[in-house]
Amino acid sequence: MTKNAVEVSGVSMRFNLARERVDSLKEYMIRALKKNMNYDEFYALKDVSFKIQKGDSFAIIGSNGSGKSTLLKIISGIFKPTTGKVEVNGSIAPLIELGAGFDMELTARENIFLNGAVLGYSKKFILEKYDEIISFSELHNFVDVPLKNFSSGMVARLGFSIATMVQPDILIVDEILSVGDYSFQEKCEKRMKEMTDNGTTLILVSHSIEQVKKVCNNAVLIREGELVTIGPIEDVSNLYLNG
């Protein structure tokens, strides 16, 4: 049995950036048919390889636009890399974009059932977990309020509570905790710690070096799509902070 939860091998991700403005769908179609679109090719990730051991709490560190979210989306299977491959051993609970997987017109209660169903849980199972989700998110007074009237921190509370209602093999958390207030962040950190103590592998992206140092053991530093270094969190964050 492999010791690795995630193996990223030679992953590159190319995006096509339209170089000029195309204002209408009609214009886009005409240009596309004439093969008259000008693109700049842009590599958000360039030949990135690393491994994350089972049970590790692992941070992905880098400046804005360095490729962290793209990497998480590839690990979660949302994006297919242009070249290279990713091997994931175990079930994944990805908490990537705030509100992804939610219907903002529906209430918190309805979204719990919707999201649970998307994650593959039965209605009976979600009913069993319902009180715990509401209690962890501290949204008792808002269960029948549509999500469009929630603050971003409240949406994050709900998302985190749903994603951690069962213990996944791999928990992926991208930045969303930063919108939660201090007490909720502490609560999430505690839950993430309990989960890793029980064998879950955690992959965390956060702009707060203080938070990743508290929660993670190891990290990778990405700069302009390239892997700069991988190793103990202390060393990687020092390198990031000192340029």
Ligand X SMILES: Nc1ncnc2c1ncn2[C@@H]1O[C@H](COP(=O)(O)OP(=O)(O)OP(=O)(O)O)[C@@H](O)[C@H]1O
Tell me which residues touch ligand X (CB under 6 A): 15, 17, 44, 62, 64-70
Minimum Å gap between C-beta 68 and ligand X is 4
Residues 6+ apart with CB under 8 A from 67: 13, 44, 45, 48, 222, 224, 225
HEC string for 158-193: HHHHHHCCCCCCEEEEECHHHHCCHHHHHHHHHHHH
**Smallest separation (angstroms) from ligand X to the CB of 12:** 12
Minimal distance in Å, beta carbon 224 to ligand X?
9
- Shorter beta-carbon distance to ligand X: residue 66 or 196: 66
Number of H helices, E strands in the chain: 8, 9
Q: How far is the CB of 16 from ligand X (least distance, A)?
A: 7
Complex with ligand X: residue 17 or 166, whichever CB lies closer: 17
Instruction: Name, in order, each residue with C-beta under 8 angstroms of 7's C-beta and a sequence gap of 6 or more.
Output: 51, 52, 86, 87
Supply the minimum distance, in Å, between the C-beta of residue 69 and ligand X.
3
Residue 70 vs 237, nearer CB to ligand X: 70
What distance in Å separates the CA atoms of residue 202 and residue 237, rounded to the nearest whole number?
Answer: 17
Cβ proximity to ligand X, 136 vs 175, nearer residue: 175
Q: Measured from the CB atom, is 137 or 185 closer to ligand X?
A: 185
| Cα–Cα distance, 208 to 136 (Å, whole number) | 23
